[in-house]
Structure 1
Amino acid sequence: MQRSGGVSLPNSKRKSSSTHHSGKEQRLEQNGIYMKSSTLLQRESKRFCDQLLEGYHEPIGYPCYPVDKIDEVLDRVHGLNEARLQRDVTPWVVPSAENLFFSGVAGLDGIGEEINAEWVRCEPMGLSRPKPDFTVGLRRSAFRNEELEKLENYGTPQNPFYFTPDLSFPFLICEAKTGRIGIDQADTQNIHSASIATKAIVNLYVAAFGREHEKTKDLLGRVLVFTVSHNNRMVNLYGHYAVAGMNSSDVDGHDTVDSYQYFRYDIAMFSLSMYDGRERFRAYNFVRNLYDRFAPQHLERIREAVGSMQRPVPRTGLSFAASDIGLDEGSSRQSFEAIASQENAVFRTPSEPASASQKRDMANMRGQLDKLLRQLQEQREESMQQLEQRRKESKEQLEKQRKESKEQLEQLTGMISRLQESKDAS
């Protein structure tokens, strides 16, 4: 901070929040994520989003205060921390699927949720590892055993199946932030998380059918994940989808196709406090329709892809699957993520050189490989010992049988001799 004539002046080197926000958008775009819509969004998907806004669901399981106190609550949480906002306001905006299930709403038993859970089993796309305020996805019980075997064999941090240890394929993500700047931060975090979730579904179809298959192409331009951003005054609803990447050239000048690009569609924006509260439960109604109408489609879409995958060869010896591998704190971050967090940080710290990060990642992988090789060698030695022990036991048993047979033969020969002598004597 510089001072002039007793007046404090801001340091010119300090980045403003808007500059920091634009820096995040730039990193997202470098990873193919764009905070805007595309003309390639399918009309059918647009109509479906409009249909999700229709109807009315009476809110079930109010928070711990009467409905006529909402205006007072909205005023009181203004300027307070996010925890108060999530506790007092979010349940009116995004109802809990599990609470609805326990309240008797049918058809939600396969839906699970996480609160402030870090996505430890997926690779980020330009920002720090997601940790949404509220995430809704599929529980393990939503899949059959054969489907789980295929998914666990398929899943990696680059192609995640489980995003947290207990939740797979998220389809609804909510971020709650205070103030107008806060809701912009929520939008940024949401599009990052939603793009990772969208990419997971597209990559699943590529693995199951191939990039050029009709079913894979039909996913492009179709909303696959939804997000909700809100503060104590307004709610933003978005749909997220993928499109084919633009043609580019590699270092040799050959045309290549970048995998996919990710966009969002502005579905609606509601006010929680204006218009005499007429829009207050519009987001709640949208989410209820999402649970009833989109969640079954989401599950069936994943099952369709999994059904076309080959069943994995049963594992012997080492009992681990690719989906069991998570990203640790070091290897999960891209080289520039050491300077970026989901919070609106002001200063940046020096980032680790990419070469050093790669060396550390290689060392971690080498350590894991050495550990697996040691386990394999130990199992091999144990198997050889067991085999040798069985051979020894078989040899001893065979020798014992031979000895017993010889003794029985000698006894039988003696009996025959005695019978013959008795016959001759008579």
Structure 2
Amino acid sequence: MKRAAASLYHSHSDGEEQPAKLRRRDSSSTLLFPSKRQQQTHTTRQPLSPLSNNNSIRVDSPERGHPTVTPPSRDRKDEIFQWIPPPSDGFEVMSQPASKRSRSRSISTDRGRPRSVSPSTSASSRDAKSYAYKAANYVTILETKGCFMRSSDNGPTSGDVDLCERLLDPSVDTPRETLFEFIKGFHDTLRNRSEARLLVDLHPLLMPSAENLRIQGREDLKDVIDGYNDPWLKTEPIYGPKPQPDHARGLKWSTFSESQRRKLGIKPDEKSLYAVREDMYFPYLTAEIKCGNQALEFADRQNMHSMCVALRAVVSLAQAAGRLEEVHQRLLGFSISHELEVVRIYGYYPEIGDDGIKYFRWPVKQFNLWTEADKWTCYRFVEKVDRVFLPIHIDRLMHFLEDILDPQDVPFELDADVDISAQSQITSQERSSYTRAPSSQNRGLQPELRSMIQTLQQQLEEQKAREEKQAAEQNAREEKLLAQLEQQRIQMEQQKAEQKAREEKLLAQIEQQGLQLERFLRLLEQNKEPAS
């Protein structure tokens, strides 16, 4: 009886009603919020805070019932089997693939991450993540998205170049009694080991955990949170898989006040430009660990992708505040790529021009880890980033948030379906005229404003469709060009092989003619001797 009841209850549990899937936000770097300078009379419905009590999704619990017991049969053995329901009745949903089962119910998470992940799922996820960055045309595709794995012609500002020199200050105190004191044995032990071993033993000596340092008394790290191999599920990638850095640092939600979180508009279960996980905002430092020198190129690609996503958030916030010029050519984040021997450090900055926003990287330093002069270089750099760059990073964000209007302070509401990004396209003259008008006139202009916003939204969608079409055509041209280059390479190899065969044949013919000539000369000499 208990077994049948349990089976029936399991079937009800798998049939729970689920809430409708929430609409995903667009991942483009358009404006999300009007600024005080740009707009004083527009509003949107107040977004939920990550700490709001209304952010939970209610799932109705099923009513538990009892199975109907069939009369016992003549045979005791048959009677027992009649109590067992068919597999299709009690386990119909469980027969689906694991990915579908996971989507059919609301799974509670801890700090935005699943409570448990099977080892096979984690391993396949990491393999898929790394494989995507090994594509031959990945760097080219990133460039079509405005992300360049090189410096621009102008580079970052001279002040930020000087900042990089300050971040490499060798005067930082380093830990004592570490394995670096046994540098040769430590190095020999880590040879030919996995990335996981480097992450556990070597990486903390290059980039220690900010949260652990906070526990040990570093008050300047109270706003910092670490992430280890956490997928950035709350944001959209630039291209390919979602970023999943081996180690990342960002800001906690508690760094921002309730009003600032409303301005950011971060809602549960929705994509965001400003949060990469539920508990990590505006990451400013990422690290990737690889085995082998060639793999560092793939680590650089992963870091480039992650930091472009991070810079996109800061640029978008500056754009919403009307202070886009303040991030032009400014270093907004850093990355570390390393394997057992070599460490590469880069800084990342945007350039804003007539052709849009582009992201570049600046080489800060590359060095061999196992020298007395440089074994603590990466540790000192991270220390300086936390003490010097992190306050600049936080102050910059707070400065931008001051110029963004709190949704609660806007005098009237627009339709919820209207994207706020379209509002930002209204000209400054129109904004000023709306600001000067009395509230009664504002209400009278509301239908006209809605029509204007809808028109602008349609134009933005058409522009996005054109850009996507152009990107697809560009990808097709690149693939065609690569195919042509490959075909030309094959033809050149064939021509070389044919040329070599002809040369060998010609040499053989020349050698044969030389032998014949020698025989002919000997015959002539023999004919001359009797005559004499």
TM-score bracket, normalised by the shorter chain, equals: 0.5 to 0.7
1:161 paired to 2:253: no
Q: Could you tell me how far 1:22 is from its partner in structure 2? A: 3.5
Structure 1 stretches of 4+ with a deviation exceeding 6 A read 154-158
Match runs of 1:25-424 below 5 Å: 25-40=139-154, 41-60=156-175, 66-152=179-265, 160-209=273-322, 215-245=323-353, 257=355, 259-274=356-371, 277-313=372-408
Whole-Å separation in 1 of the counterparts to 2:408 and 2:336: 41
Whole-Å separation in 1 of the counterparts to 2:233 and 2:366: 31
Tell me the secondary structure at the aligned position of residue 244 of structure 1. strand
Whole-Å separation in 2 of the counterparts to 1:297 and 1:154: 26
* Structure 2: stretches of 5+ with no match in the other structure: 1-130, 414-418, 420-467, 472-532
Root-mean-square deviation (Å): 2.9
CA contact (8 A) 2:338 2:344 kept: yes
CA contact (8 A) 1:155 1:161 kept: no
Tell me the secondary structure at the aligned position of residue 153 of structure 2. coil
CA contact (8 A) 2:148 2:359 kept: yes
1:20–1:96 CA distance, 2 compared to 1 (3 A): closer
Tell me the secondary structure at the aligned position of residue 349 of structure 2. strand
CA contact (8 A) 1:159 1:203 kept: no
Tell me the secondary structure at the aligned position of residue 89 of structure 1. helix
Percent of paired sites with the same residue: 28
Aligned AA (1:228): I
CA contact (8 A) 2:167 2:384 kept: yes
1:70–1:26 CA distance, 2 compared to 1 (3 A): same
CA contact (8 A) 2:238 2:305 kept: yes
Whole-Å separation in 1 of the counterparts to 2:290 and 2:282: 24
Whole-Å separation in 2 of the counterparts to 1:135 and 1:115: 7
Q: Could you tell me how far 1:272 is from its partner in structure 2? A: 1.0
With normalisation by structure 1, the TM-score equals: 0.62
Q: Could you tell me how far 1:196 is from its partner in structure 2? A: 0.9
CA contact (8 A) 1:123 1:157 kept: no
Residues 59-95 of structure 1: per-residue CA shift (max 9 Å, x gap)? 3487xx6432343233322222111111111111112
Q: How many residue pairs align between the two structures? A: 284
Aligned AA (1:83): A
Q: Could you tell me how far 1:26 is from its partner in structure 2? A: 1.1
Q: Could you tell me how far 1:157 is from its partner in structure 2? A: 7.2
Higher relative contact order (CA 8 A, sep 6+): 2
CA contact (8 A) 2:273 2:312 kept: no
Q: Could you tell me how far 1:145 is from its partner in structure 2? A: 2.0
With normalisation by structure 2, the TM-score equals: 0.50
Tell me the secondary structure at the aligned position of residue 408 of structure 2. coil
1:155–1:222 CA distance, 2 compared to 1 (3 A): farther
Aligned AA (1:304): H
* Structure 1: stretches of 5+ with no match in the other structure: 1-16, 210-214, 248-256, 317-321, 323-333, 337-426
CA contact (8 A) 1:122 1:156 kept: no
1:235–1:157 CA distance, 2 compared to 1 (3 A): farther
Tell me the secondary structure at the aligned position of residue 337 of structure 2. strand
Which segment drifts farther, 302-311 or 158-167? 158-167
Tell me the secondary structure at the aligned position of residue 236 of structure 2. coil
Partner of 1:386: none
1:20–1:230 CA distance, 2 compared to 1 (3 A): closer
